[in-house]
Chain A
Amino acid sequence: MYDFTDLVRSIHESLVASLSPGMAALVEWIIIGAIFLGFFALLGLVLVYVERKVCAFFQLRLGPMRVGFWGTAQTLADTLKLLLKEPIMNKRADKFLFNFAPFIIIISSLIVLSVTPFAPGLQAFDINIGLFFVIAISSIGVVGILLAGWASNNKYSLIGAMRSGAQIVSYELSVGLALMTMVVLTGSLQLSEIIASQADGWWIFKGHIPAFIAFVLFIVASTAEVNRGPFDLAEAESELTAGFHTEYSGMKFAFFFLAEFVNMFIVAVIAATVFLGGWMPFHIGGLDGFNQIMDFIPPILWFFGKVAFIIFLMMWFKWTFPRLRIDQLLTLEWKYLLPLNLMNIVLMAFVVYMGWYFGN
């Protein structure tokens, strides 16, 4: 009912009919690029506003209220302020790396965004190794953080960057293994196929115990991977002032800020796609009336609803928990999450081998 496949195909066919194949492809690239850039900016604006509001309600206050209705234009005003700010640079900073670092971070998150399956037929880049692609590209971001910390010529930044390096490299393992656990179940790395395999039930329900463990592990590890509280050691405001982006100002700072939110969105997208069925509606076997009502809700709303739920979870963590110490952080990963993950993947393989999951 809400399939975008026809719309996308008709646009493609009309372009091919009127232009040469090369030109048609070029125009398509430009359209898709423009859409993603627009979406990227919008996402940043919306998520910053949401975070400020969610945080405010956790903290018994209202948050931004003055600019626009309920402060909705606040982030727009802030963006304007950041654009007009003077980009100050440390005199002895490494100029090239200092300017280059924000772009690495923002480009890596922008590339990962390209595989996002928003709705049936609405996915820019549906490759057969989608999940692997996400894990691979999202780990490039840490290079940006390390460069930023190193190039700033600031001790706090350097400590923050080193912390971040240790943290992201460690937690990457858990993120990857938790996803691999699910790949054992889904049998595919392609995001569209993973979603299609959940038509009769989301994997978190079908895969029961191991899938649920994998979900929890994924959420914990990915919160650490995107450097958000309680794992925000790289920034650690009360210890390192602002960690790796202490020396950044204006739009370059905004890039780090934006990348954090977009990374959070990406993590939520992956969790929603792999565990919660992507844009698939919620179905209960046997209740046809209920299922039809659920089908009536457009898939794109399902998708964004699930993503919003996971983003809310991550904000909830951030505004409730104190921060871990670096050695505790690494202990958590190497002594608890990783062994648990390895056991879980064996358990999942066993469950799949015996066919003990639902809907086989």
Chain B
Amino acid sequence: MEVVDKDKTIPGDALKSQEYFVNMGPQHPSTHGVLRLVLTIDGEIVKRIEPHIGYIHRSIEKMCEKDSYRQIVHLTDRMDYLSCHINNVAVCLAVENALEIEVSDRVKVIRTIIDELTRLASHQLWWGVMGMDLGAITTFLYGFRDREMITDIFEETCGARLTMNYNKPGGLMFDIHPNFQKRTKEFVEHFKKKLPEYDQLLTGNVIFQERTKGIGVMSKEDAIAFGVTGPAGRASGFECDIRKKNPYHVYDKVEFNEVLLTEGDSFARYKARIQEMWESLSIIEQLIDNIPEGPIEEKTNAVIKLPKGEFYQRVETARGDFGVYVISDGKKSPYRLKFRSPGFSNLFILDKIARGSKIADLVAIMSTLDLVMPDIDR
């Protein structure tokens, strides 16, 4: 009779699993654009994530160096196309601050309302895509149903639905459409009924909660160290809402809460965005009925020349802290212009928080970071 040796039952090196590489992207359904992740995988477990970017780099910052300030505004549309209005405003504010122009209250209020509508539209799209990344394709179309109403409002206001270009240094391109207030109020009423539907369809789902709770936990320290801002950072308890910290437009005059959660997992990042939608609705409601009268633009020179110096303007886009850093040497175009895009910082925490999780979790975590590739590559 053969005696079974204890050591012989342990599989030798030949049976050990082997790590391998998978190129996730640049063509992949859930990298949301041309992001390439080089994954080191052991079975289903992701050991290492290496983001490779640059597939949609258009050297926007370099182009800015020979464009006039009015032209630069147009380019910012093409960065984070889901919060294009907020990007436009950031450049406009930087120029206005440099020239020490004070726009009228009317412009400020309209900009605030459209900022919040843009944020809502972005979060709606994110919500739909988030569901899709987890395999619930139906959410995508529910998100788009409500987003459609916002893009219709934008279309009526300025003629464009996505890359709006509604702002210019010194004010707005056009006044709002007579229907603007009516349609915005209709939308707010509609969306207040539909937002609980989002919770019914996805938030309350057992599978969804199992897939997101306790997954991809980001500590507050990590969030600060990596510069993760926006809802992703606030879900870890990092107070980084520029609207509160560094108010612009009329954000210091409206009542709203900075959504702060402490869990820092995928579900917290999800909840932060859902709650932010409620806050945005409340901001719009406070402002929509009392848009003050006033000029829609301040007079500027035909060729805008900034004084010599360095200027920085931060705004809160749907993804986080967006910064415009202008170095001017007094000419009609900036000497150097640097954008601080929130997506870039948010992407690079992926390796830290998704290491050791499954492939399916990686997709979910990436989705809660809400990446927009043109914003990261510029």
- State whether B134 touches A322 (Cβ < 8 A): yes
Stretch at the interface among A56-64, A184-192, A201-209, A343-351: A56-64
Q: How far is the CA of A163 from the CA of B44 in the complex (A)?
A: 9
- Most B Cβ at <10 Å: residue of A59, A229, A326: A59
**B133 touches A (CB below 8 Å):** yes
Interface residues of B (CB under 8 A from A): 20, 22, 28-30, 44, 131-138, 140-142, 145, 201-202, 205, 207-208, 210-211, 358-361, 363
Give Cα distance in the complex from A232 to B136, angstroms. Answer: 11
With A58-B138, A156-B22, A241-B28 given, is the CB distance from A322 to B361 under 8 Å? no
Do A159 and B360 touch across chains, with their CB atoms under 8 A apart?
no
Selected from B20, B28, B134, B140, the residue in CB contact (under 8 A) with A323 is B134
Interface residues of A in 310-326 (CB under 8 A from B): 319-326
Q: Which of A60, A156, A319, A325 contacts B361 (CB 8 A)?
A: A325
Task: Return the chain B residue nearest A231 by Cβ.
Answer: B135
Name A239's contact: one of B141, B142, B210, B363 (CB within 8 Å): B363
Residues of A with Cβ closer than 8 Å to B?
58-61, 155-156, 159, 163, 229-230, 232-233, 236-241, 319-328
Q: Is the CB of B20 within 8 A of A155?
A: yes
**Across the A-B interface, the 10 shortest Cβ-Cβ residue pairs:** A323-B135, A322-B134, A59-B141, A238-B30, A322-B136, A325-B360, A238-B133, A322-B135, A322-B208, A322-B207
Considering only CB atoms, which chain A residue lies closest to B28 in the complex? A241
Give, as a whole number of angstroms, the nearest-CB distance from A270 to chain B: 25
Shortest CB-to-CB span from B276 to chain A, Å, is 22
Q: How far is the CA of A337 from the CA of B30 in the complex (A)?
A: 31
Q: Tell me which residues across on chain A come within 8 A of B208, comparing CB atoms.
A: 322
Determine if A327 and B134 form an interchain contact, defined as CB atoms under 8 angstroms apart.
no
In the bound complex, residues from chain B placing their C-beta under 8 Å from that of A155 are 20, 22
Whole-angstrom distance between the alpha carbons of A305 and B133 in the complex?
34
- Would you call B44 and A159 a contact (CB within 8 A)? yes
Which residues on A sit within 8 Å (CB–CB) of B361? 325
Contact A60 B134 (CB under 8 A): no
**Nearest chain-A residue to B21 (Cβ)?**
A155
Point out the residues of chain B lying under 8 angstroms from A327, CB to CB.
Answer: 44, 358
Q: How far is the CA of A328 from the CA of B30 in the complex (A)?
A: 21
Partner of A238, one of B20, B138, B363: B363
Q: Determine if B207 and A238 form an interchain contact, defined as CB atoms under 8 angstroms apart.
A: no
Query: Which of A59, A229, A232, A325 is the most central at the interface, judged by chain B CB atoms within 10 Å of its CB?
Result: A325
If A230-B207, A238-B135 touch, does A323 touch B360 (CB 8 Å cutoff)? yes
- Please measure, in the bound complex, the distance between the C-alpha atom of A156 and the C-alpha atom of B210, giving whole angstroms: 24
Known A-B contacts A156-B22, A238-B134, A238-B135; the reply to A60 vs B142 at CB < 8 A is yes
Q: What are 27 residue pairs bridging A and B, where the CB atoms are less than 8 Å apart in the complex?
A: A58-B138, A60-B141, A60-B142, A156-B22, A159-B359, A163-B44, A232-B135, A233-B360, A236-B135, A236-B360, A238-B29, A238-B133, A238-B135, A241-B28, A319-B138, A320-B138, A321-B135, A322-B136, A323-B360, A324-B207, A324-B210, A324-B211, A325-B211, A325-B358, A325-B361, A326-B44, A327-B358
B138: chain A residues within 8 A (beta carbon) = 58-59, 319-320
| A58 partner residues in chain B, CB cutoff 8 A | 138
Please indicate the chain A residues that have their CB under 8 angstroms from the CB of B145 in the complex: 60
Q: Check B141 against A319 for contact (C-beta < 8 Å).
A: no
Contacts of A229 in B (CB 8 A): 135
Complex formed: what's the CA distance from A58 to B208 in Å? 19
Candidates A159, A233, A236, A320; contact of B136 at CB < 8 Å: A320
B132's partner among A238, A241, A326 (CB-CB below 8 A) is A238
Q: How far apart are the CA atoms of A326 and B360 in the complex, in Å?
A: 8
Min CB distance B190 to A, Å, is 14
Q: Which residue of A lies closest to B142 (CB)?
A: A60
Residue in chain B with minimal CB distance to A56: B141
Question: Which residue of chain B lies nearest to A331 when distances are taken between CB atoms in the complex?
Answer: B210
> Chain B's nearest CB lies how many Å from the CB of A165?
13
Nearest residue in B to A154 (C-beta to C-beta)?
Answer: B22
Our pick among A232, A239, A322, A324 for the contact of B131 (Cβ within 8 Å) is A322
Question: A239-B363, A322-B202, A324-B207 given as contacts; is B358 within 8 A of A230 (CB)?
Answer: no
Give, as a whole number of angstroms, the nearest-CB distance from B180 to chain A.
Answer: 26
Which residues from chain A contact B142 at a C-beta distance below 8 Å? Answer: 59-60
Point out the residues of chain A lying under 8 angstroms from B29, CB to CB: 237-238, 241
Q: Which B residues touch A322, using CB under 8 A?
A: 131, 134-136, 202, 205, 207-208, 211
Contacts of B131 in A (CB 8 A): 322
Closest to B44 in A: A326
**How far is B366's CA from A239's CA once the two chains are assembled, in angstroms?**
11
Q: Find the B residue at minimum CB distance from A242.
A: B29
Report B267 CB to chain A, min CB distance, Å: 13
Which residue of chain B has its CB nearest to the CB of A321? B207
Contact across chains for B210 and A230 when beta carbons are under 8 A apart: no
The residue of chain B having its C-beta at the shortest distance from the C-beta of A323 within the complex is B135
Measured CA separation A320–B205 after assembly (Å) = 10
Q: Which of chain B's residues have a CB closer than 8 A to the CB of A319? A: 137-138
A321 touches B22 (CB 8 A): no
Contact call B359/A239, Cβ cutoff below 8 A: yes
CA distance A44 to B57 in the complex (A): 45
Cα distance A355–B92 when bound, in Å?
Answer: 82
Can you name the residue of chain B whose Cβ is closest to the Cβ of A59?
Answer: B141
When chains A and B are docked, how far (Å) is the Cα of A59 from the Cα of B131? 13
* Distance in Å: Cβ of B40 to nearest Cβ of chain A: 12
When the two chains form their complex, are residues A239 and B360 in contact, meaning their CB atoms are under 8 A apart?
yes
Q: From residue A319, how far is it (CB to closest CB) to chain B in Å?
A: 5
In the bound complex, CA of A238 to CA of B28 (Å): 8
B137 and A59 within 8 A (CB): yes
Complex formed: what's the CA distance from A326 to B137 in Å?
19
Bound-state CA distance A73–B137 (Å) is 25
Considering only CB atoms, which chain A residue lies closest to B132 in the complex?
A238
Distance of A163 Cα from B137 Cα, bound (Å): 21
What residues on A are CB-neighbors of B211 within 8 Å?
Answer: 322, 324-325, 328
With a cutoff of 8 Å between Cβ atoms, the chain A residues found around residue B30 in the complex are: 238-239
Please, which residues of chain B bring their CB within 8 A of the CB of A326? Answer: 44, 358, 360
Shortest B354–chain A CB gap in Å is 13
Q: How far is the CB of B42 from chain A (nearest CB, A)?
A: 12
Min CB distance A314 to B, Å, is 15
- Across-interface contacts of A238 in B (CB, < 8 A): 29-30, 132-135, 363
Find chain B residues with CB under 8 A from A233 CB.
360
CB-defined contacts of A59 to chain B, threshold 8 Å = 137-138, 140-142
A230 to B141, CA, bound (A): 18
Neighbouring B residues of A328 by C-beta, 8 Å: 207, 210-211
